[in-house]
C-alpha cells in the first residue's frame, strides 16, 4: 500500500484532502490544529503550519517585489528608448535627401542608442541612387540572399548568416554578432533597415520590436519622395 493509500481511521489520504477542499473553513473552526501540525523546514527543524504559511507569504512577497522591480526597470528602459526613437523620427522627418537620412541614422544609432552600426539597404538599380553608405540591390538579387526576411512584416532579431550580414552591412568589416532587421515597404518593397551589434546576445530573438516598427513605418513614408528625387538627379546627371 502506498502513502497515498494509507488510511487513518478508515479514511484515505485522498479523502482527507478532498474533505478539506470542500470545507475550506475547517481550520477556522479548529485553528489550534494549525499550531500543532508540523511540517519540514529547509533548516531541518519542523515548524508549525502557521509558521510555514507566513514563510510562504514572505517568499511570495519577495517574488512579487522582484517581478515589480523588473517591470519598473523595463518601463524606464522603454521610456528612454521612446525618447531616443522620437528624436530620430523628428530628424528623419526634416531630412531633405537620402544622404541626410543616412547621416542622421548613423549619428542616432551610435550616440543615442549606443549600438555598433546601422544600415539602409535599398531595392532597385544601383545607378538610380548614387549615395555613399547605402547598399542598393535589385529586389530579386536581395531575395536570393535574404529570403523571407524581406517579406516579413515584423522585425527579425538574432544572428545572421554570413552572406546575409555581408548583404545588410556591406560597409562593416568586423563581425556582426546579432542584428535587428525590418523591411521597408509602402506600395512596394523599398528596402531593409538594420541595426547591428558585436554582442551575439544583444538582439535576442525574443526581444520586442515595437519601436523598430515605428521607425520602419516612418521611413517607409518618408523614403518614396526622396527616392524619386535621387532618381531624377541621377537621370539628369546621366544626360549631361
pLDDT in tens, the chain (240 residues): 444 444 456 678 888 888 888 887 777 777 777 666 766 656 555 556 667 677 778 888 989 999 998 888 878 877 777 888 888 888 888 888 888 888 888 888 888 888 888 889 999 888 888 777 788 999 999 999 999 889 888 888 889 999 999 999 988 888 899 999 999 988 888 999 999 999 988 887 555 567 788 888 888 998 888 888 888 877 777 666
Q: What is the structure's pLDDT at 144?
A: 94
Q: What is the structure's pLDDT at 208?
A: 54
Q: What is the structure's pLDDT at 17?
A: 81
CB 135 within 8 A of CB 170: yes
**Which of 185, 188, 177, 189 is closest to 217 using CA atoms?**
185
DSSP, collapsed to helix, strand or coil, labels residue 202 as coil
Q: What is the structure's pLDDT at 175?
A: 87
CA dihedral 64, 70, 72, 78 (to 10 degrees): -150
**Displacement of CA 78 from its chain's centroid (Å):** 11
**Which residues does residue 118 pair with via DSSP β-bridges, in sequence order?**
195
CB 120 within 8 A of CB 190: no
Cell of 147: 529570403
**Displacement of CA 81 from its chain's centroid (Å):** 12
Instruction: Please tell me the chain's helix, strand, coil percentages from 3-state DSSP, rounded to the nearest 5.
Output: 55, 15, 25
Say how far apart CA 24 and CA 148 lie, in whole Å: 56
**Which of 71, 65, 190 is closest to 128 using CA atoms?**
190
Q: What is the structure's pLDDT at 29?
A: 77
CB 191 within 8 A of CB 184: yes
Q: What is the structure's pLDDT at 2?
A: 46
Element (H, E) at 191: strand 189-197
pTM: 0.66
Q: What is the structure's pLDDT at 3?
A: 46
**Which residues does residue 40 pair with via DSSP β-bridges, in sequence order?**
46
**Which residues does residue 135 pair with via DSSP β-bridges, in sequence order?**
121
Cell of 28: 477556522
Say how far apart CA 61 and CA 65 lie, in whole Å: 6
Amino acid at each position: 500500500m502506498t502513502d497515498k493509500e494509507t488510511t487513518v481511521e478508515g479514511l484515505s489520504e485522498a479523502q482527507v484532502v478532498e474533505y478539506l477542499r470542500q470545507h475550506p473553513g475547517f481550520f477556522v473552526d479548529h485553528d489550534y490544529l494549525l499550531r500543532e501540525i508540523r511540517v519540514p523546514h529547509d533548516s531541518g527543524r519542523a515548524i508549525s503550519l502557521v509558521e510555514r504559511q507566513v514563510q510562504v507569504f514572505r517568499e511570495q512577497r519577495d517574488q512579487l517585489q522582484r517581478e515589480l522591480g523588473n517591470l519598473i526597470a523595463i518601463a524606464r528602459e522603454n521610456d528612454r528608448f521612446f525618447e531616443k526613437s522620437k528624436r530620430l523620427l523628428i530628424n528623419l522627418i526634416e531630412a531633405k535627401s537620402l544622404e541626410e537620412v543616412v547621416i542622421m541614422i548613423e549619428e542616432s544609432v551610435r550616440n543615442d542608442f549606443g549600438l555598433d552600426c546601422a544600415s539602409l539597404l535599398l531595392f532597385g538599380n544601383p545607378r538610380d541612387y548614387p549615395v555613399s553608405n547605402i547598399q542598393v540591390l535589385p529586389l530579386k538579387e536581395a531575395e536570393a540572399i535574404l529570403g523571407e526576411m524581406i517579406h516579413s512584416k515584423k522585425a527579425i532579431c538574432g544572428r545572421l548568416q554570413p552572406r546575409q550580414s555581408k548583404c545588410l552591412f556591406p560597409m562593416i568589416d568586423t563581425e556582426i554578432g546579432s542584428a535587428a532587421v525590418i523591411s521597408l515597404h509602402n506600395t512596394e518593397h523599398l528596402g531593409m533597415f538594420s541595426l547591428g551589434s558585436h554582442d551575439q546576445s544583444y538582439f535576442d530573438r525574443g526581444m520586442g520590436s515595437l519601436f523598430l516598427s515605428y521607425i520602419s513605418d516612418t521611413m517607409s513614408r518618408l523614403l518614396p519622395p526622396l527616392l524619386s528625387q535621387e532618381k531624377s538627379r541621377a537621370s539628369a546627371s546621366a544626360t549631361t
